[in-house]
Homo-oligomer: A and B are copies of this chain.
Amino acid sequence: MTALPPDAPEADETHAATKAAVFAAAERLFALHGFQNVSVRDITAAAGVNLASVNYHFGSKDNLLFAIFRRRTGELNRERARMLHEANDRHGGKPPVREILEALFAPPLRWADPANDRRISVQFIIRARSEGTAEMREVLQNDVSHLARFAEALKAARPDLPAETVYWRLHFCLGMAHNNRFVEFDRLHHLSGGATREGDVAALLARMLDFAEAGFNA
């Protein structure tokens, strides 16, 4: 019997608590230990469900990772686009550089707040970007079309800059954003002798915007 799992496309709000438990446990374990270092048995054990649940509800371990990545990146991109849209409305379609970069930096930073239950999702996304399988590059292509709106907004905010300069500086900003991992925070905390704390996300956002805005307007 080739029983295919009932794959509801987006609104998979089925009554199966097992699927949600697997999803949550997998996201957490992947974010903490990496995709390859977490086995299906680890996931199902942490979720308190049967071993076969992963393949039943998601088809395969790769599909599970893909499903988590697709949902979280979709949520993140939507929130970024919403903030960019609001900045457009506030400034008649031509927001300044700082507010464009704020729409890029603020969503993942707010998620990374220790009081936010999405804190683990940011770590998952950042880690998935590094260990991305070839299957996830198609989502990254969609991510490119999403970033294009930020590039256009930045080019409109600084029409005097060459386009390739805008692209490179957007690349530098993305590097800053993707570097906000637990490991890097720990190293920074150890380097500074405890002077730096990432707990205050509002202060960290201001620091990032100060740095990135000045760099972009160099």
Which residues of A approach B to under 8 Å, CB–CB? 34, 36-37, 127, 130-132, 140-141, 143-144, 147-148, 151, 163-165, 167-172, 174-180, 183-184, 187-188, 190-192, 195-196, 204, 207-208, 210-218
For the residues of A in contact with B, the DSSP-based class is: helix
Among B176, B207, B212, B213, the residue within 8 A (CB) of A165 is B207
Q: Once the chains are docked, how many angstroms separate the CA of A163 from the CA of B49?
A: 49
With A37-B36, A179-B175 as known contacts, state yes or no: A195 contacts B164, CB within 8 Å: yes
Q: Once the chains are docked, how many angstroms separate the CA of A195 from the CA of B204?
A: 32
Which residues of B sit under 8 angstroms from A217, Cβ to Cβ?
214
A33 CB to closest chain B CB (Å) equals: 10
Q: Once the chains are docked, how many angstroms separate the CA of A212 from the CA of B180?
A: 17
A9 CB to closest chain B CB (Å) equals: 26
Which residues of B sit under 8 angstroms from A177, Cβ to Cβ?
175
The answer to whether B191 touches A148 (Cβ under 8 A) is yes
With A172-B176, A188-B171 as known contacts, state yes or no: A130 contacts B132, CB within 8 Å: no
Which residues of B sit under 8 angstroms from A148, Cβ to Cβ?
191
